[in-house]
Amino acid sequence: MSAHANPDIIDDGLVFLYDTDDGKSYKGEPTTNLITSGGIDFSQRSGYTNLQTSQVVDSRSPSGYACEMEVQDGANINTAARSQFGQGTNMPSSGNAFVSIFAKLEGGTYSNITPKIYNGSGTAWQSLSALDGGSAYLTSEYRRFGYYGAITANPGFSMTKGNSNIQTGQKTRWHSPQVELKSHATPFVNGTRSATQGLIDRTGNTTIDLSNVSFDSNAQMTFDGTDDYIALPSDIRSIFTSYPNCMECVLKKSSSDQGDMVAFDVDITRWNLNYNMYVSNQWSFDFYDGTEHVIAAGNYDDEYVHFVLQQLSDGTMQIYANGVLKGSSAASNLSPNGSSIRIGSRSNGDSRYFKGDIPIMKIYNKALTSTEVLQNFNATKSRFGL
């Protein structure tokens, strides 16, 4: 069975893989959902009539996190009919939080139904924005809506069908409500997603710890150029003390960042992919076997680039960029100094932190043929516009 979402990518010899676009690898930024399934109340809120609320089963949401609201009894509702999604027992008494939920509209002809929340006592109805940038109204497809704002004392989080007239028999469905102490939404989680649960090695060999990386406003992993890195264990490091071996990645950096930086490093720049350290304004493969070997590979600012760095069975070092061999050099075994492997910085963490994105990282205990390098590049290039 392939460890990739894309079956056209080479799996033979693969010992480590993450891919932030693969839902089986990237689970999301670490977070805690303050709404628990046990705290959800599916009863109709006091003071609202002609509304039926019930829990429903939805494959997109774990048990207890989905519900349906339906207008009944032959009457339109002219106010914001709502269903409780838990009281404030797990909520902070002050500060801001991000509230998100998936919702859709079923039946009827009214289309201007807006999703809203009532955010605790003393605050008004808050409109939810469409997180996909689309229509602010509910549509026939599940879409995620969200709101970032202040949390008042003991808030009761509720979901509404909106302020417009709502017809008899018209329904809204909701699933996966989430409240988290962040300024943006992260993928839904039932409870807590820890730093070791956010990014999964698809080979199953290594636990990846995201404690030392950053996340952007879309909850995507990024490296801030200051102190971000991912450390890999000694069994991965041992692959690089003999040959053949191979590291493959996709990365992107900005032209505004021209300082020295290391995207991948074994034993303190003794087997590494670096920018500007040995060749001005270029990426290069640096290898030390008692003698320094440096192979330049080009600039690629403001664009994604697919790199393959490897040492062949005869010791030859190679670096490919976007499927093209940029250079090679004869070498022998790495001269190790006992340090670890890091993604995003020098392995001793003293400086040269990478600033940008590394959405794919792979390590093989073999070297790839030129045909395999090109196959992996071709299977990846359309995603990154290469």
What are the C-alpha distances in Å from 44 to residues 68, 85, 86, 226, 243? Answer: 11, 10, 12, 50, 66
Report how many domains make up the chain.
2
User: Is the domain of 303 the same as that of 173?
Assistant: no
Whether 3 is covered by a domain: the verdict is: no
pLDDT at 73: 43
Whether 338 is covered by a domain: the verdict is: yes
Last-in-domain residue among 180, 203, 231? 180
User: Is the domain of 327 the same as that of 209?
Assistant: yes
User: Is the domain of 165 the same as that of 51?
Assistant: yes
CB 250 within 8 A of CB 305: yes
What residue has token string 């929340």? Answer: 117
Q: How far apart are CA 75 and CA 67, in angstroms?
A: 21
User: Is the domain of 18 the same as that of 39?
Assistant: no
User: Is the domain of 113 the same as that of 209?
Assistant: no
- Could you tell me the residue range of the domain that residue 108 belongs to? 32-180
Last-in-domain residue among 132, 154, 180? 180
Last-in-domain residue among 152, 180, 208? 180
pLDDT at 289: 85
The CATH number covering residue 210 comes to: 2.60.120.200
| End-to-end CA gap in the chain | 27
Whether 188 is covered by a domain: the verdict is: no
Whether 189 is covered by a domain: the verdict is: no
Whether 324 is covered by a domain: the verdict is: yes
User: Is the domain of 159 the same as that of 209?
Assistant: no
pLDDT at 110: 66
pLDDT at 64: 54
Phi and psi at 238, nearest 5°, equal -65, -25
User: Is the domain of 230 the same as that of 371?
Assistant: yes
List helix spans (H) across the chain: 234-237, 370-384
User: Is the domain of 176 the same as that of 225?
Assistant: no
pLDDT tens per residue across all 386 residues of the chain: 467 767 788 899 999 999 999 999 999 999 998 877 655 555 555 555 555 555 565 666 555 566 665 554 444 444 444 555 554 456 666 678 898 888 888 776 667 777 777 665 545 667 789 999 999 888 889 899 998 987 654 444 455 544 445 556 667 777 788 888 999 999 999 889 999 999 999 999 999 999 999 999 999 999 999 999 999 988 898 898 889 999 999 999 988 888 899 999 997 668 999 999 999 999 999 998 888 899 999 999 999 999 999 999 999 999 999 999 999 999 888 766 767 899 999 988 778 999 999 999 999 999 999 999 999 999 999 999 99
User: Is the domain of 143 the same as that of 220?
Assistant: no
User: Is the domain of 114 the same as that of 233?
Assistant: no
Whether 158 is covered by a domain: the verdict is: yes
pTM recorded for the entire structure: 0.86
Q: How far apart are CA 63 and CA 42, in angstroms?
A: 13
User: Is the domain of 166 the same as that of 274?
Assistant: no
Burial of 64 (0-12, 13-18, 19+ CB in 10 A): middle
pLDDT at 102: 86
Closest residue by Cα to residue 271 from 253, 258, 252, 284: 284
